[in-house]
Amino acid sequence: MSILNTERLTRRIALLRAQQKVHTLRGMRRGIEKESLRVSPEGCVAQTPHPVALGSALTHPHVTTDYSEALLEFITPAYEHVTDALLFLTDTHHFVYDRLGDELLWVNSMPCVLGDELSIPIAQYGSSNLGRFKTVYRHGLWHRYGRHMQAIAGIHYNLSYPDNFWWAYRRIEDACSVDLAEFTSREYFALIRNYQKYVWLVAYLTGASPAMCASFLRGRAHDLESVDNHTLYRQYATSLRLSDLGYSNNAQKGLAVSYNSLTGYVDSLEAAMRTPHPAFERIGLKDGDEWKQLNTHVLQMEAEFYGSIRPKCVPLPGERLSTALRGRGVEYIEMRSLDLNPFEPVGVDHQTAYFMELFATFCLLHDSPWQDAAELAQNKANLQVAVNHGRDPQAQVTMDGTTLSLREWARALCEAMRPVAVLLDEARQSSHGYTRSLAAQLRKIDDPALTPSGRVLDTLRERECSFFVFAMERAQAAAAHFRAQPMSDARRDFFEQLAAESLEEQREIEAVPQVPFEEYVEAWYR
């Protein structure tokens, strides 16, 4: 007997088939956001400005920067096919590598050799109020959490379901009296709750950061093991990026964000943007005329709230995300738990993409009761088990009051996903991409050495090399891969035109008379 109650999941799948609505899942759209540090040939954070040949980081739709001037972010459009999203990401890498000179892209989530904090340059976006706003926000992150944490890179996998699916699903759920946008948001939050409950499985299967350069934790207390003076690791870790040593925000540990409804979620974030935080008040808002942060509250803006998954709605120009969500509802989800896979040139492959879509759809169709504070705490505890000790045969997680080995729970979840994988393959009339991906995940559960984290540590042991040497070799291999395969003239022209248009758009923004920056900031928070 399964330890998971899949009665509602089975019923929903049966009704989709009975009402001949399986095909509506064919319209799922996905996009990928991938971060990579630019590094010098010696493997240090690049100190050069964002290359002008790439376009404007402020206005380019597909090539921008995240926290640091050196932290590139590649953003694909939303596509109906996984292959199209990965091809666009590949073409973007070709274009960027053509214009990096002798610099490299770091292919690991945990950063290269880091000096002091000032060696990580903060991203610059020009002289407009919009550009200054983005830079001041990043100064706030520096003063609040330090720059080292902001040098970590990850992959965000964005996914949406089409309107014709939501029409069909609303009928299946006997909710035709509910407004479609309201119903859609409600069900996206059901997906989000399950994602948070089971995200430890994603960390186990896809985590690729069991080790890091010792410079990342210089001066900080930790309990990691040391290979040499340069490499820190945890024997059974999967994703130190997602651990408390990685991308975390201690100031938010007391922030109670509700995922039981759209209104509760938005209210939580807006309250955090209005609530003063004593530590941030001590930092101060300005140093003379220089802004140190946008406000002294728990959150400067919604993006500062760190989570493994976010509900998203594309904001209008000048619109806050919370306003967009409240007004138009959830348009898609952003899954934020993927490490860069150093064994893949673009950091992610088809197999992982198919699994993330399968996992999300399982989370949508599986029963998803509301969560209380105790369950949210249990979810966080399970994730920390997985990221720190996931490949340990003795690792255990607790769900719904049942404590079992992580591998037993993982196998049960993957088995429960099997009918969803079949459903998605039916919808796409594909060559079993989802079921094949699921089979690959089951092999990782049976043999932890097949996980990306296991492969990383095995490579370090077999090569008897440091994390830095391993990561540099992977970065050099990725660079050679892209530089050996030049992109087509048509694609090069496409990206060159985008770069030129983005630079012109930034010039136009900066040519418009600007109100005083303080007024601009005040207006944004209204």
Domain assignment of residue 19, yes or no? yes
In angstroms, rounded to a whole number, what is the distance separating the alpha carbons of residues 57 and 467? 30
Domain assignment of residue 425, yes or no? yes
| pLDDT (average), residues 509-518 | 96
Q: In the structure, what pLDDT confidence band is assigned to residue 41 with cuts at 50, 70 and 90?
A: very high
Nearest partner of 186 among 169, 203, 200, 208, judged by Cα: 169
| pLDDT (average), residues 464-477 | 96
Helix, strand, coil share of the chain (percent; to 5) = 50, 15, 35
Query: What does pTM read for this prediction?
Result: 0.96
Q: Which residues form the domain of 241?
A: 7-525
Domain assignment of residue 272, yes or no? yes
Q: Which residue has the tokens 């490490």?
A: 339
Domain assignment of residue 1, yes or no? no
Q: In the structure, what pLDDT confidence band is assigned to residue 380 with cuts at 50, 70 and 90?
A: very high
Domain assignment of residue 364, yes or no? yes
Q: How many domains does the chain have?
A: 1
Please, which residues bridge with residue 74 across strands?
34, 63
Domain assignment of residue 2, yes or no? no
Residue 431 has what pLDDT?
76
In angstroms, rounded to a whole number, what is the distance separating the alpha carbons of residues 290 and 127? 14
**Residue 286 CA to chain centroid, in angstroms?**
31
DSSP code of 68? B
Residue 52 has what pLDDT?
97
Is residue 488 scored above 60 in pLDDT?
yes
- Provide the greatest CA pair distance for the chain: 68
In angstroms, rounded to a whole number, what is the distance separating the alpha carbons of residues 70 and 23? 43
Domain assignment of residue 411, yes or no? yes
Residue type, 284: G
Residue 100 has what pLDDT?
95
CATH number of domain containing 468 = 3.30.590.20
Domain assignment of residue 161, yes or no? yes
Is residue 250 scored above 70 in pLDDT?
no
